[in-house]
């Protein structure tokens, strides 16, 4: 007799399973490496293809084919869109892939993947550092033909560096990007003193730092870093330009904040056509490459430029709110995290990754030491061993002779696998130097993982190195409420 299943229960169960899969496999990044699954698969595919930061660029179509063929059973269009975002420096604060060709602008989409070329950027390459050294777990891919990493080793807190956005079923995430120096300073502070509160961490992290620059109001920063939720007001950066022998004044927008330039220009055209700000004479987009320059020419009769600018800002919408909802995956389930929780989890996971890395290095080095010790044992009685090998008619005779000389089974195997020419050239002095170097290195590795504190010291040194290597200036300026709402325009005098 067949059992009766409620339609409602079946729908609820199926929808719950579906929503969890969307959360885990599509929309929400992981709290440790800061990546969504498709991003992680793209980076690993490039690594697997040898497209490292110091290699040549190769066709993006090759990377997309590798990704969807081996790691992601989804369409090439969505995979390429994700790759494009990893390359664009106006979309991603610290691009994880380096591209050649037309990767698009604020106004135009990227060329098709058959026309562009790509490889890992230096930061992207860093995230995969030691991925094959047992630092992270691997799982079989969707068809069981190969394996892929569950997470990347990620020696940087990437989620805060590049932020994330994604809409799942029943929840969404929206995390702003930050300056690398600020994030590493905050992480180091928490490494040194895990008891620091969010309030005590705030002096280390100025605030978000968006790829397009701009001005940020600090009024809600305490809330978003304390609760992982809130919003941040962001304004374009502009200045007033006075040109030699020109009676007109020009307002020049140089940094867009979180605005889309195309939509902003469309709004300006509407404002100009409808004469919503009558003091505007014309608008020109003089942007070149990565340098934004939108020029607003004011009529000669304009007197109070700051009142006009305030009206432009409000009419065109040059102040936008960035909604913050710091949701990320921990143990495959979404969590809203404040600043301390996110960095604490990253530190705890990084400690485990570093411990696994050095245990792998120690095991590998111990095998090398064993090999060197065996060669030293051979050198100590080299003439007798060489004579034994030359005089023996069969391999069994060699084995028997070596066992009489008190060689262990693994040492016997090493002798058998080493060409006699190499055995004859073994140098005791060189081998002893190698042995001493290996022993010194082994001791240093063992010291790193002797305690959690020593591992944290190693991570601290790593982060200091990365700050020197990848640190850059902030693109966004943080302002208090009074300054942000003033609508001041710095004056710049030019000859043209």
The answer for residues whose C-beta is within 8 angstroms of residue 494's C-beta and 6 or more apart is: 241, 242, 243, 244
Question: What is the distance between the alpha carbons of residues 193 and 437, in angstroms, rounded to a whole number?
Answer: 35
Question: What is the distance between the alpha carbons of residues 396 and 131, in angstroms, rounded to a whole number?
Answer: 42
**Cβ distance 93 to 85 under 8 Å?**
no
The answer for residues whose C-beta is within 8 angstroms of residue 277's C-beta and 6 or more apart is: 271, 308, 311, 312, 315
Backbone angles phi, psi at 9, to 5 degrees: -65, -40
The answer for residues whose C-beta is within 8 angstroms of residue 379's C-beta and 6 or more apart is: 426, 427, 428, 431
Question: What is the distance between the alpha carbons of residues 444 and 458, in angstroms, rounded to a whole number?
Answer: 11
Question: What is the distance between the alpha carbons of residues 340 and 338, in angstroms, rounded to a whole number?
Answer: 6
Q: What does DSSP assign to residue 200?
A: H
**Cβ distance 134 to 360 under 8 Å?**
yes
**Beta bridge partners of residue 478, listed in sequence order:** 216
Question: What is the distance between the alpha carbons of residues 441 and 416, in angstroms, rounded to a whole number?
Answer: 28
Question: Which position among 15, 71, 94, 115 bears the catalytic label?
Answer: 115
**Cβ distance 293 to 252 under 8 Å?**
yes
252 three-state secondary structure: strand
The answer for residues whose C-beta is within 8 angstroms of residue 31's C-beta and 6 or more apart is: 159, 328, 329, 330, 335, 337, 342, 345, 346
The continuous run of DSSP H or E covering 339 comes out as helix 339-380
Q: What does DSSP assign to residue 258?
A: T
323 three-state secondary structure: strand
**Cβ distance 439 to 373 under 8 Å?**
no
Phi-psi region of 288 (alpha: psi -120 to 50; beta: other; left: phi over 0): beta
Say which residue the tokens 């992207």 belong to: 124
- Give the tokens for residue 279: 């003091």
Q: What does DSSP assign to residue 425?
A: T
Question: What is the distance between the alpha carbons of residues 313 and 253, in angstroms, rounded to a whole number?
Answer: 11
- Give the tokens for residue 124: 């992207």
Q: Is residue 80 annotated as a catalytic residue, yes or no?
A: no
- Give the tokens for residue 319: 């102040």
Q: Where are the beta strands (DSSP E) in 46-145?
A: 58-59, 97-100, 117-120, 138-140
Chain length of the chain: 496
What amino acid positions are annotated as catalytic residues? 115
């Amino acid at each position: 007799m067949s059992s009766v299943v409620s339609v409602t229960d079946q729908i609820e169960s199926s929808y719950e399973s579906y929503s969890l899969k969307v959360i885990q496999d599509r929309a929400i990044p992981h709290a440790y490496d800061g990546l969504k699954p498709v991003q992680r698969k793209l980076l690993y595919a490039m690594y697997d293809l040898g497209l490292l930061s110091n290699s040549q660029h190769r066709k993006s179509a090759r990377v997309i084919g590798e990704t969807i063929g081996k790691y992601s059973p989804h369409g090439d269009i969505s995979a390429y869109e994700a790759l494009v975002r990893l390359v664009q420096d106006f979309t991603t604060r610290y691009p994880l892939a380096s591209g050649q060709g037309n990767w698009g602008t604020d106004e135009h989409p990227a060329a098709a993947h058959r026309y562009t070329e790509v490889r890992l950027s230096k930061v992207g390459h860093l995230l995969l550092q030691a991925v094959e050294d047992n630092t992270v777990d691997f799982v079989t891919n969707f068809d069981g033909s190969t394996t892929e990493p569950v997470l990347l080793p990620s020696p940087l807190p990437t989620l805060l560096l590049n932020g994330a956005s994604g809409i799942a079923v029943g929840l969404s995430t929206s995390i702003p990007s930050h300056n690398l120096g600020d994030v590493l300073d905050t992480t180091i502070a928490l490494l040194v003193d895990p008891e620091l509160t969010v309030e005590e961490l705030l002096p280390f992290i100025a605030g978000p730092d968006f790829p397009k620059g701009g001005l940020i109001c600090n009024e809600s920063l305490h809330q978003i870093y304390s609760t992982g939720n809130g919003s941040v007001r962001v304004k374009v950066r502009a200045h007033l330009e006075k040109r030699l022998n020109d009676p007109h004044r020009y307002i020049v927008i140089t940094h867009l904040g979180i605005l889309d330039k195309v939509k902003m220009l469309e709004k300006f055209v509407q404002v100009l056509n409808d004469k919503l700000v009558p003091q505007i004479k014309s608008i020109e987009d003089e942007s070149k490459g990565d340098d934004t320059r939108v020029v607003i020419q004011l009529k000669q009769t304009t007197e109070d430029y700051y009142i006009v600018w305030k009206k432009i800002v409000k009419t065109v919408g040059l102040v936008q709110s960035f909604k913050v909802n710091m949701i990320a995956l921990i143990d495959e389930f979404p969590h809203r995290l404040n600043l301390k929780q996110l960095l604490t989890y990253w530190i705890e996971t990084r400690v485990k990754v570093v411990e696994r890395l050095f245990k792998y290095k120690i095991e590998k080095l111990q095998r090398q030491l064993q090999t060197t010790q065996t060669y030293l044992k051979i050198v100590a009685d080299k003439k007798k061993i060489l004579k034994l090998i030359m005089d023996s008619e069969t391999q069994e005779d060699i084995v028997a002779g070596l066992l009489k000389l008190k060689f262990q089974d693994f040492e016997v195997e090493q002798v058998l696998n080493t060409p006699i020419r190499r055995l004859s050239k073994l140098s005791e002095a060189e081998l002893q130097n190698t042995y001493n170097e290996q022993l010194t290195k082994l001791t240093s590795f063992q010291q790193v993982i002797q305690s959690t504190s020593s591992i944290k010291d190693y991570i601290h040194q790593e982060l200091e190195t990365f700050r020197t290597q990848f640190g850059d200036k902030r693109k966004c300026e943080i302002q208090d409420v009074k300054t942000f709402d003033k609508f001041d325009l710095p004056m710049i005098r030019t000859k043209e």
